[in-house]
Structure 1
Amino acid sequence: MDIGYVLSGRYEIEELVGEGGMSTVYRAYDRVLARTVAIKILRDQFSANEASKGRFRKEALSAARLSHPNIVGVFDVGSDRGLDYIVMEFVAGRSLEQEMKGFRGPMPVLKAVGIVNQILDGLWHAHSHGLVHRDIKPHNILISSDGRVKIADFGIARASSEADLTQTGMVVGTVNYTSPEQAKGDVATNKSDIYSTGVLLYEMLTGKLPFTGEGQVAVAIKHISEKPSPPRRANPAISPMLERAIFKSMEKDPARRFQSAEEFKAALMLAEGAYIKRDADVKDDTIVSGAAGSATKTFRKVEGGGIGMKDRGKGGYDQKKALRNLIILVSVFVLVASAVAGGIYLAWDRWMDVDEVKVPDVVGMNIEDARVRLKELKLNAAIEDSRYDKSVPADSVISQVPAAGTSRKVNSDVELVVSLGPDLGTVPDVIGKDLREAGIILEAAGFTVGENVFEYDPAVPEGKIVRHDPPAGSMLDKGMPVTVVISQGPSPTIAVPDVIGFDYKEAESLIKAAGLNIGLIIEAVSEAYPKGTVMAQTPVAGTEVDSGSLVDLKVSTTAQSMGAGSGDGSKKFEISYTVPKETWIQEVVMKVNDTYGSRIVFGPKSLKSGEGVVQMVEVFGSGRIEVWVDGSLYKAYDV
């Protein structure tokens, strides 16, 4: 945007003042109302995107509903030469981000609390109108030249009464200040803004963020799973009451946070009052003393007076009495020292006479068995530590000090480290989440994302998790991978090719090339088709089916190739089947349907891998021979 250009014949562009992810902000002059305003213009790359333009317009409508001294006001919205823009209140001052950099460390307690109280006033107004900001951060907090704090950029504000504005699962906002529920991709609420404001206060009072890491995902995981370091460690000026308020605002569970901005502010005002009283008490305990022409000095009051020399009276200092007292003290000291030395000598002598034993090997033993074994040798089992170990069963000894075979005096301690077993965790439910969200949730629970398997699913949107292994609620060792199956959306349909008249091998190649699979093969005697030719197919050619569907084929054969006539109106056929080598065992049955009805001519019989059967089957008149494997029809012959 050129400086000097007049938007819609009214707003004269004067200066570029800031740039955001979706928009650019200029200072401009309103020629109609003769005032300075801020103009936010949607970037060119988003202007062609209807979703971005819709979100930009919703920002204006959302912010226009608010009128509060701690929220940047919205005056107008419009479009010029295809550029969408919002006209806002111009705040002469600087951002909280710039204010914090000026301190190069912690901000004074009362100043930080005062700024946050104004932020909470603005948030309370927005929340009462059903709006959640969702991106509270120093860059979006402006401080005017007269000290007024204003919340800016409701660009990703969400009207909680309009669910279509922001989808669950879309993480919007700045990860350094994001709430745990936003990091998981859940819907943000007013308590999400309270969390972000708590993070802001933490940073202002300590000069550092509560969570840092390599990359946004690492920081997001810490917001979900880790507790922040106590801010008083970084800044002792923070009172315990104020620290408790910060921790409450940053609870992982929204239900345990302050339930409103008003409640958060009330807690800060109590802490602020306690801080002011403490500061006043310190000042009251200070005594200023000095004389004309000398430097003023300050001293702390000391309750109960000081320690000094007693009044010696008129006689002054008695040297003889002091010498006598000194001799008595030295004599007593010598006697006590002699007694102590004698006691130490006797104790050492007795210790040296104590029997020694060899320390047994108790590593791998159950702790109770280890206690018994050590007690038998008059040694004590001292549990030094307990830790998770997936290779050592729970309540078993991982290590010992001293090592087995070492000589130790009886009644000595043997320090043991005992296993808590594998560090198990409950697999969370990530069905319906996208891969990024699933990764954050699984890593927060102590697991990793394992193999990614993709499959078509008509009911689950593309990119979302269909299922995972192990399933939700399963107990799994921490650090283990969870395999996720990701939806590719509905399966694309494929037209079944026409393979009638083709040799079976050619037909098989055509079907597989189309992305389909061979189903049931039925062999039938035919005089019209050469042996091995496809006579019929199901589904018929041209039918639209899902990728990977089965196509059943009827393939021609001849009576001579299958068997021979017996002269009494019957024919005999040699039917064979062999269990595949990769299969351990199968149950095989052969059936006949002919003029005399249905009957079993072989089985049921269990055959092991590699075993086969060759059965001569007699058929009277026209009929059908079927081979069934493990309860499913494997092959049929129409004869």
Structure 2
Amino acid sequence: MEPGYILNKRYQIIRTLGEGGMANVYLANDLVEHRQVTIKVLRLDLQTDESALRRFKREAKALSELDNENIVKIYDISQSNDGLQFLVMEYIEGTDLKEYIKENYPLKYETVVQIMDQILSAVSYAHKQNIIHRDLKPKNILIDKNNVVKITDFGISMATTESTLTQTNSMLGSVHYISPEQARGSMITKQSDIYSLGIVLFELLVGHVPYKGETAISVALKHYKSKIPSVKKIDPKIPQALENVILHATSKSLSDRYQTVAAMRDDLRTTLNEERKEEKIWRPQILIEEETKIIPQINHEDEMIEDDTIELPIKKKYVVPENISLREVLKQKYSRKEVGIFLGAISFITVVITVIIFAITTTPKVISMPDIRGLSKSQATEILDSHKLSLGQVKYQYSSDYNYGQIIKSFPKKDKKVRQQTAINVIISKGPDAKKFGDYRGQNYQAVKKRLEKQGVHVYEEEKYTDSAETGAILKQSISQKEKVVMSETTVTFTISKGPTYFKVRMLSGMSKDQIDAYAQSEGIKVVYQYEYSDTIAENQVIKQGPAPNATMYRGQTLIVILSRGKVLGNENSNSKEKFNQGEGNNRESESLNSTSNSLSQLQQK
């Protein structure tokens, strides 16, 4: 769209702000609210993609419900006259975080913490509304001149039908921030956002991303396999507590990563406190558990050597001479029978102790079952492995609460006691059950809307005057009745009857001008006012109207209303019914009245 173009008779384009893999973005003037706004228009090649359109509307409606000072506000979700889908959003006068880092690096640690705290606040709020950003990066984080952060593009990028990894031009901006589970094609969760936030914090501290490569795939593989570089090796002045937040957030294992954004935010806020200056480097729990255990050093005083004195169950002590075994010593003091009993007892006790030690060391521990709901099969296997559990029998069922491939339920449930080395049975979601949309034509719109919204359908309406259906009845639906859809992922637009194309005009006498305007708007007609002096009708009251009361009018026609100017003041000889409509305007109003009269005459002749 070129500068000066007016979208939907309201938004005047000023200039292009950017072009992305999903949409083109423009700065525009809102001619109604008199403010600058950002217009995001769905790309032309996606405008005919039904799936992309439905997801665009669904995600946009979800975003319209987000209300946080650090999230860009959405003002309108609409469609242009030529069918282009677009969003109208708050315009932020400033720059994105990528440019901000380039212009201001190095940043003070206090500034880094302040910026990250705002980002974490926004993402934490979105997660509570069950919205995952999926593409957190500095380009999607705006910052104004007062260092107020605003996050944009929540979930919109997921409306594309192609894999992000194959979109080389757009992916290189995102691949530097994707989580290991995204890199290997696993299910994206809230913890995927946490990993991306850790990479953003890395870039804020050292001015660049941790991994580089010639292709998107090579960078993605590094997220999946390579250890994240130490920011302290790049800048030794960075507090260890601050680096620990990065290490914790970017852990390859979901069980070691922060479980919530709120937990990450709480940890970040105290990183510059005095009591955390001597903090040690954070290490993943899995690595700690897998380290080789060091056998404690034996105290020399406890060692058994050949010249030790052996205390036997007699009063006198015997010293074991060189080259004489314990058996020989015992023979010198005890009979053969007593020695046999003694040695047998020793052997028995040794066996018992060995069995007990073996049982203790080999019996699996009892632990609490980790929560694996919402994870993919591979993610759950990873977490179960870290707890010395295994994946057991897998069943599948439809679910509206969990996406395809996510675990719905585990047996046992989370927090229940389970012994290690147990196989955990799970139920995995097949996604929502698709069914035929159905035919709602002829039904009452409000009743249908209420019924469909309970099933998660996003319902929109368009109105049309018609003589063939009652007011409020559905005339047309945007989705075929036989099309199979997942209700919770569906957006439909119904065309509904606004009433018949003609109606009986009511008597306007006694109504104020505002009441007449409201009446004309409700009936879909225009109104033109003329004024006359009157000695009998009070000022601004109706003298007469055309067409007359109870006459038939069509929608869109013009109603002429003559209002009183009150009594004539001054010259008594002046015409008390002098009209104050002069020139061209008077001629047009007369023509409108004549046109209305002619139309009514034709209707009566029919």
Bin of the TM-score, shorter chain as denominator length: 0.3 to 0.5
Q: Which has the larger radius of gyration?
A: 1
In the superposition, the TM-score normalised over structure 2's length comes to: 0.43
Q: Which has the higher strand share?
A: 1
Q: Which has the higher helix share?
A: 2
In the superposition, the TM-score normalised over structure 1's length comes to: 0.41
